[in-house]
Amino acid sequence: MRAADVRRLLLLVGVMAAALIGTGCVTVQAWERGRLADPQMKFDPDASLAAYQAHWQEAREGAAGGSGVQGGGCGCK
C-alpha cells in the first residue's frame, strides 16, 4: 500500500470511531424523562415477586445464583 492509501484508511477509521463514540453522548430533556421512567421499562416490575420466585427456584433446585449474571458457562464471571 502507498502512504496516501494508509493515511486515507487511518482517516476513515478515525472518522468512524469518532462517529461511534459521539452517538453515546445524549442529553435527555426534562419532558423526555417521564417516558423513560415508565414502569414498562423495568426488567422486573414487581421486585418482591421476583425475589420470591428466585428464592423458590433456589430451594427447589438446591442451587443458588446464576440468574442475571452473564458468563461463558465455565464458571468465570
Distance from C-alpha of 58 to C-alpha of 35, rounded to nearest angstrom = 35
List pLDDT tens digits, range 37-47: 777 777 776 88
Is a pLDDT exceeding 90 seen at residue 69?
Answer: no
pTM, full prediction: 0.34
Q: What's the pLDDT score for residue 26? A: 75
List pLDDT tens digits, range 46-68: 888 888 888 888 888 877 766 66
Contact 56, 50 (CB under 8 A): no
Domain ranges of the chain: 1-42
Distance from C-alpha of 61 to C-alpha of 46, rounded to nearest angstrom = 23
